[in-house]
Amino acid sequence: MRVGVISDIHSNVVALEAVLADMPPVETVVCAGDVVGYNPWPAEAVAEVRSRSIPTVQGNHDRKVARGTNFAGNRMARAGVNLARERLSEGDLDWLGSLPTERRLFDDRVRVVHGHPDDPDRYTYPEEFGSDLLDGELFLVMGHTHVQHVERTPHGIVLNPGSVGQPRDRDPRAGYAVLDLEAHTAEAHRVEYDIDAVAEGVREAGLPSQTAERLREGR
């Protein structure tokens, strides 16, 4: 069984469409959170994920939007949350609020969280990927850092598929991964998308210009 893995879409539906078009044949797709935030199309991103019935965990931006709270110091993050609150329906907000912080899928072979298995808001970078993070699963999927990495350990694979909508590993291409549950493999993928179109969407939505600028640099 092959499974597509995405994370940190952050309302970038242009990147999401590019990822889904580029993804090789898979039986299903899972998402490690942060469907919304930062970019111009929160409603469209939520609609795409919901229409495909993609199992998703709740990211920190998803939680802020659902609860009506916001970030204290990050102007770009605050603007993205405000835009999502304006543009999402009550049904979409309820859906975001109902997302769990962890999913165990495919007979517990795959565990999906947003940040760290013990703390959904903790950034867990590649140098921390190891067997100690695993709890019996063959694959642990994490998001949150927007840094793509696959680490094979003696007891399973720990991975971050990278960010669909706002990469931060100096590669501006949208990131995702594909798992093969029978072969016990995980492949990282990147795909180019129309960043200029997103930049125009950022401008039209009245979002901070830095939101688009960082996309071009993958940071």
Domains parsed from the chain with CATH numbers: 2-217 (3.60.21.10)
- Whether 68 has a pLDDT exceeding 90, the answer reads yes
46: closest CA among 3, 97, 82?
97
Average confidence (pLDDT) over 168-188: 98
Cα-Cα-Cα-Cα dihedral of 158, 16, 87, 32, to 10°?
-10
Give the pLDDT of residue 203.
Answer: 97
- Whether 66 has a pLDDT exceeding 90, the answer reads yes
Give the pLDDT of residue 140.
Answer: 98
Give the span between the Cα atoms of 136 and 63, in whole angstroms. Answer: 27
3-state helix, strand and coil shares in percent for the chain, rounded to the nearest 5:
35, 20, 45
Residues in Cβ contact with 88 at an 8 Å cutoff, skipping those fewer than 6 apart: 36, 42, 43, 46, 65, 96
CB 35 within 8 A of CB 62: yes
Average confidence (pLDDT) over 119-136: 97
Q: What is the pLDDT of residues 5-63, one digit of tens each?
A: 999 999 999 999 999 999 999 999 999 999 999 999 999 999 999 999 999 999 999 99
pTM, entire model: 0.97
Average confidence (pLDDT) over 167-178: 98
Q: Which amino acid is at 21?
A: A
Question: What's the N-to-C CA distance of the chain in angstroms?
Answer: 33
Give the pLDDT of residue 73.
Answer: 83
Average confidence (pLDDT) over 179-194: 98
Name which of 69-73, 96-100, 135-139, 172-176 the model is least confident about.
69-73
